[in-house]
Amino acid sequence: MLRVDAFICLVQKKSFIKLYTCLSSPHEVDNRHMLLSTWKRKQNGFKILVACSAGPHPTANSYLSTGTNTEKESSAIDCGLEEFSWPSPNDEIPFWKKDFPLWDVSQEVFDDTEKDPDLMHIIHATAEMAPIAKVGGLGDVVTGLARACLLRGHKVDIMLPFYECIQKQQINGLELMTTYNSYHDGQWVPTNAYRGVVSGIPLILIEPSNHFFKGPAVYGGCYNELEAYLFFSRACLEWMQVTGTEPDIIHVHEWQTGALPLLYWDMYQCLSIKKPRLLLTVHNMEHYGECSKDQLSKCGLDGSLYATIDKAVDDRTIGHNPERLSLLKGGIVYSNAVVTVSPTYLKETLCSGWLASTLIRNRDKYHGILNGVDTAMWNPATDVFLPAKFHAENIEGKRICKHYVQRGLGLAPNGSLVGSCLSNDTNRVPLVICITRLVAQKGLHLISHAIKHIEELGGQMVILGKASDSRVEREFESLTNLHNQGTSVRILLTYSEELSHMLYAAADMVLVPSIYEPCGLSQMIGMRYGAVPIVRKTGGLADTIFDIDDQSNQDMANGFIFEGIDEGSLNGALNRAFHHYKEEPDRWNTIVRKLLKIDNSWNNTAGKYISVYNSIRVR
């Protein structure tokens, strides 16, 4: 018997050769399974020169099959599933909470990206960063864009509040770098700046000695959030000043760091920082950072100076007592460039919403750049959270993931184990997932309606969602009580990065019925894991998903679209998706393979950010 801890291959792309390690769980195996194979990972142009595994682990086997008949071949070799430890809803520790290997995705990245000619230093000032401080897409975007720019040769740092909830073991090389004072409300607050690296990305963590950023979650601690982020915005600039750091670009995100451009131009430029130029990305116009003049004054600016229509006053409050300010609007006015996260959302925001007039006034510097997926973090061929890996050339692992999730959640499983392999599904039951913050924007009435309709259609549905509003939480708790007893619906009212990866991998379809959606990542992540999106046509969903039944656009076709916000419109899209899934299984598998090959990575869009950075930087 032989113990196997890893699956290793030597990989070549053009002249670049790298030893590539794909960890699987340790196995005791008989050495008759010793395998040696060559295999081309066609979609990425990689050639695996030598791949060896000594085990029957499905990970290894799904890699080691070759050619187009890979599924049959890998089953014929040995699926190794008799040794597989299947989860159950009765497990003491739910399957998504067990210990996973520490995952340094930077190891997965091939650094053969072409370098940009004119390199610069970019510092992001942000409230979220995946995976250590992520609540939604903002965290994913910051990490993915930072990684893409690093790979293109730029120097990138991310400045993040040192939230108490951050798990320090996820940060490599964490060390105290600077101790300094930063201003808040008439006092200088002793503050620490730590440095570290998360998934290959350099990080600067700002830790004030007061109560800010304490608590069990990124948001919702027992402190005034607005004041905490005003403090953070100034503390980022103060750190640059005390350390003499002058990046070319300070990239701020959302209202949380919207005051930073005001502080920069009206305070720190008059002190010693001269070089940086500012770019604001607006991920969602609905979060506008409502702020009183007095609150703004707490960061050291004179809040009353910003209460004008051309600066930061919230247009809706003009003539009311008191008038309010919006940190987002201030950020838009004071930044050198403003980006929102999809071309369609850009158009929508110019036509409606109270910020439209501000955006029209600033149209020349306002850009729509589609978000990308961080393909290092989201990769079904290497994802440590998956019980079996897969890729476009071999989707057997996806079937295993589905079976695994179904068994773990107590849903009726598709197929059954025959010997050491999964039988072909005789009774094809589609699994639909919806992974989302449970807020009105996401189409809550459509999500709850989908549960009923999917059950009627004979499908399965898993919702992974977290509500910040207690009324919404109660509403979904009652749906949970109603549906979680059966074998076709599971509603999990929690946040779990690990479970989200497994669900994307297990899903046949991913539902995104948003009322509005600036970009949306879950439809793109879903496609990366072979789940067919069913989306409402709005914002970034309209830019990324093209209907499979639209005969005029079959090249781009990748999902099902509906337009109305009524239940009937959603039913129509679900009915069509179920029909395709059940009646045309071969075509469905072809679509899944097509999705697995679609490139929604930052490789496509980071260059657009670089162009905007270049257009504003000072040389």
Footprint on this chain of ligand ADP (rule: CB under 6 A): 136-138, 140, 435-437, 464-466, 495-497, 500, 519-522, 525
State which residue, 137 or 208, has the beta carbon closest to ligand ADP. Answer: 137
4 vs 512, beta carbon nearer ligand ADP: 512
Beta-carbon count within 10 A of 8 CB = 15
Closest of 525, 465, 535 to residue 501, by C-alpha: 525
CB of 498: closest distance to ligand ADP in angstroms? 9
Residue 423: CB minimum distance to ligand ADP, A: 31
Q: Please report how close the Cβ of residue 253 comes to ligand ADP at its closest, in angstroms.
A: 11
Q: Which is nearer to ligand ADP, 61 or 522 (CB)?
A: 522
- 3-state DSSP call for residue 275? coil
Q: Quick one: which of 398, 425, 397, 413 has its CA closest to 531?
A: 398
Residue 535 CB, shortest distance to ligand ADP, in Å, is 11
Report residue 392: phi and psi, to 5°. -60, -30
Residue 108 vs 140, nearer CB to ligand ADP: 140
Q: Is 17 in a helix, a strand, or coil?
A: strand
Minimum CB distance to ligand ADP, residue 33 (Å): 35
The least distance separating ligand ADP from the CB of residue 471, rounded to whole angstroms, comes to 18
Which residues on adjacent β-strands are paired with residue 510? 433, 533
Distances in whole angstroms, Cα of residue 287 to Cα of each of 317, 345, 347, 441: 16, 15, 18, 12
DSSP, collapsed to helix, strand or coil, labels residue 6 as: strand
Q: Which is nearer to ligand ADP, 79 or 130 (CB)?
A: 130
Contact 523, 595 (CB under 8 A): no
Q: Decide whether 314 or 517 has the Cβ nearer to ligand ADP.
A: 517
Element (H, E) at 139: helix 137-151
Which is closer to ligand ADP, CB of 96 or CB of 231? 96
Please, which residue, 165 or 417, has the CB nearer to ligand ADP?
Answer: 165
- CA pair distance 122, 142, nearest whole angstrom: 12
- Beta-carbon count within 10 A of 307 CB: 19
Give the shortest CB-518-to-ligand ADP separation in angstroms.
Answer: 7
Nearest alpha-carbon partner for 339 in 272, 279, 429, 407:
279
CA distance 88 to 215: 32
In the complex with ligand ADP, the residue whose CB is nearer, 436 or 601, is 436
Q: Is 206 helix (H, G, I), strand (E, B) or coil?
A: strand
435 by Cβ neighbours in 10 Å (0-12 / 13-18 / 19+) ranks as: buried
Assess contact for 207 and 176: CB atoms under 8 A: no
Choice between 292 and 496, CB closer to ligand ADP: 496
Cα separation, 127 vs 385, in Å, equals 25
Write down the least CB distance from residue 43 to ligand ADP, Å.
22
By C-beta, is 287 or 445 nearer to ligand ADP? 287
Q: How far is the CB of 511 from ligand ADP (least distance, A)?
A: 12
Helix (H, G, I), strand (E, B) or coil at 198: strand
Q: Which is nearer to ligand ADP, 55 or 139 (CB)?
A: 139
Q: What is the DSSP letter of 265?
A: I
Q: How far is the CB of 54 from ligand ADP (least distance, A)?
A: 34
Length of the chain: 619
Q: Which is nearer to ligand ADP, 438 or 548 (CB)?
A: 438
CA distance 89 to 411: 9
In the complex, least distance from residue 119 CB atom to ligand ADP, rounded to whole angstroms: 29
Nearer to ligand ADP, 403 or 466 (CB): 466
CA-based torsion, 268, 274, 276, 279: positive or negative: positive
Cβ closer to ligand ADP: 295 or 436? 436
Q: How far apart are CA 56 and CA 278, in angstroms?
A: 53
What single-letter amino acid sits at 314? D
DSSP letters of 472-530? HHHHHHHHHHHHTTSSSEEEE-S--HHHHHHHHHH-SEEEE--SS-SS-SHHHHHHHTT
Residue 236 tokens read as 């980022």
CA distances from 365 to 266, 279, 328, 338 (A): 20, 10, 15, 6
Provide the token pair at 493. Answer: 């009212």
Q: What is the largest CA-CA distance in the chain?
A: 81
Q: Cβ 92 to ligand ADP, closest distance in Å?
A: 22
CB 294 to ligand ADP: min, Å: 31
Taking the C-alpha atoms of residue 519 and residue 49, their distance in angstroms, rounded to an integer, is 39
Which residues does 85 contact at the CB level (< 8 Å), separation at least 6?
none
Query: How near is the Cβ of 543 to ligand ADP at its closest, in Å?
Result: 13
Q: For the CB of residue 420, give the shortest distance to ligand ADP in the complex, in Å.
A: 32
